[in-house]
Structure formats: C-alpha cells, structure tokens
C-alpha cells in the first residue's frame, strides 16, 4: 500500500524523534505513513504542489503561501487539523522595566528588536500590530535577528536574540510570542522583573496540517480521525503529544490567519515567493 506522506521542516533535531513516533502510531492503526523532512518551508510548499507529499505540517506563513498558490492555480488548500496550542496566541512587545514607554506610539524614533524576517510571531504580526496602533514604522529602527531564515521562526533563535539585545540595551523594545515570554523568564534569558509589556497583538493561530485538492479524501479522513482521537491521558501517546507541544488535536480552521494575511500584504513578505511559483 502506498503510504500517506507528510512533509515537515527540520527546525530542530527532535523533529526526527517526533515523526518517527507518529509513523509508528499511524502504522499500528492501519494507516501506512511516511514523512519527508525539508530544510525550509518554501521548499516544502513547492514539493507539496509537485506531489512529493500528501499533507504538510505548515507554519502559519507556509499555510498562506500554500493557500495563495492554490488559489492562483484554481486549486484548493485546506487546513484539516491543528494543535490546541496553535489556537488564539498573541505576541507582545516588551521594554525594560524602567523605560518610560507606555504604548506603541512611545516607540517612535526608537529601536525595535524582532526575530527572523519571516517569523510571524516575532516580526510580522507584532510590527503590523504596532503600525495598526498608529506607530509610524518608518520612523523607527527595526533590528532583525535573521536566524535560520526559511524556518519561519519555529526555532525561536532570533526571538531569543532580540530578548537578549533588549537586556544589553542594544534595542529599546523586543517582540516576543506571549508563551515564549514565560519561557524566557523561566530560563533566565529575560527575567520577569526586568521587563514590561506595553503592547499585545490581536489573537492569531499558528501551525496546521495542510492538504491540497486531489488527495485521497478517505485517507485524509482516516489520518484526521486518528489525530483527533489521540488522548493525552493515554500513556501510549502522551510522549508524542508532549514532544509536539499539545494536549489535544483540533479540527483545522483558517480564521486565525487573517491578521497575518494583512501583515504579509502590508510588508510584501510573499511577493518574491509567489512570483516564483
């Protein structure tokens, strides 16, 4: 039987452990499964349209790439599942605790530290949100930390560098995923008593499993049913769910990408990629 092939981006060595575990899980339940790892999301999106993979574990930016390419070709992309932890996230803009800034407008003429240029959570969404709040971004200095471009900020490396730059006084504000603000505090990268949040983005969604039209719907339904049936209370699958950072799988939705759609349109983030497709 031809396996159902997933594409995923290798942003961390643990990715191999995760998808090896999911392969074992699916195979044991009658779904022949395999996966292909890619160096970056752009290559993964191209491979998806070339038929190399049947489903892609996409970042939010890769979802928009896939959706727009599909629409441009008269095809359809669909988000079939996502993690509970992918839903309703926010990013925050923080300053030093002793900084006088109280809101977005107070960052005019100052330095804003962001993650990689293609990071939705640490660059695109917070900058878009600051602009939406009235800040003239042209009157600021945006300091990018372009770690591993093409991985869309999944590795958090650029985000962490932005936080460290704030503590060193190299930037006046840093853009960070709300959950990573807690992580950075716990690990000592950004002590909670050293910073204040002055701006929060609207809620948005993160990763999803994306399929294109033409895939075997019966197999997609089987894949999705097995995912949604996973229970964190089952010790046999808890390790996999913990590695992938979730407590439950949810049906895919796309309403949580509207803010990112607006951000990529404002900044022209996808123009070159879409033109190349």
Mean pLDDT, consecutive 10-residue segments, the chain of 277 residues? 95 94 97 98 98 98 98 98 98 98 98 98 98 98 96 93 97 97 94 97 98 97 98 94 96 98 98 97
Long-range own/partner contacts, residues 72-77 (CB < 8 A, 24 or more apart):
72/274, 72/277, 73/49, 75/212, 75/213, 75/214, 76/212, 76/213, 77/210, 77/211, 77/212, 77/213
The closest of 59, 87, 73 to 209, measured between CA atoms, is: 59
Collect all residues with Cβ–Cβ distance below 8 Å to 23 and sequence separation of at least 6: 33, 34, 35
Strand bridging mode 208-212 / 141-143: unpaired
pTM for the predicted model, two decimal places = 0.96
Q: Determine the Cα angle at 249 with ends 244 and 251, to 5°.
A: 135
Domains contained in the chain, CATH given = 4-86+205-276 (3.40.190.10), 91-200 (3.40.190.10)
Provide the pLDDT for residue 32: 98
Distance in angstroms (rounded) separating the CA atoms of residues 170 and 61:
28
Provide the pLDDT for residue 1: 75
Provide the pLDDT for residue 233: 96
């Amino acid at each position: 039987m031809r396996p159902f092939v997933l594409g995923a981006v290798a942003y961390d060595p643990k990715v191999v452990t995760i998808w090896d575990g999911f392969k074992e899980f699916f195979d044991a339940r009658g779904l022949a499964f395999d996966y292909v790892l890619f160096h970056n999301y752009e290559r993964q999106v191209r491979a998806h349209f070339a038929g190399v993979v049947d489903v892609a574990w996409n970042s939010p930016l890769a979802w928009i790439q896939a959706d727009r390419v599909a629409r441009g070709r008269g095809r359809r992309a669909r988000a079939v599942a996502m993690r509970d932890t992918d839903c309703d996230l926010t990013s925050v803009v923080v300053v030093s605790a002793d900084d006088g800034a109280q809101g977005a407008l107070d960052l005019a003429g100052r330095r804003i530290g962001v993650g990689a240029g293609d990071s939705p959570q640490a660059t695109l969404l917070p900058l878009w949100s600051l602009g939406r709040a009235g800040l003239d971004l042209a009157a600021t200095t945006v300091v990018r930390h372009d770690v591993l471009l093409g991985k869309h900020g999944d590795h958090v490396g650029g985000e962490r560098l932005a936080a460290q730059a704030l503590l060193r006084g190299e930037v006046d504000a840093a853009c960070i995923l709300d959950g990573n603000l807690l992580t950075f505090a716990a690990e000592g990268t950004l002590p909670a008593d050293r910073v204040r949040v002055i701006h929060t983005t609207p809620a948005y969604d993160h990763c999803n499993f994306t399929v294109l039209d033409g895939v075997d719907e019966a197999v997609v339904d089987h894949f999705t049913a097995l995912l949604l049936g996973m229970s964190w209370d089952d010790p046999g699958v808890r390790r996999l769910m913990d590695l992938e950072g979730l407590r439950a799988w949810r049906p895919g939705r796309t309403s949580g990408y509207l803010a990112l759609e607006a951000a990529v349109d404002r900044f022209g983030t996808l123009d070159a990629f879409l033109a190349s497709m």
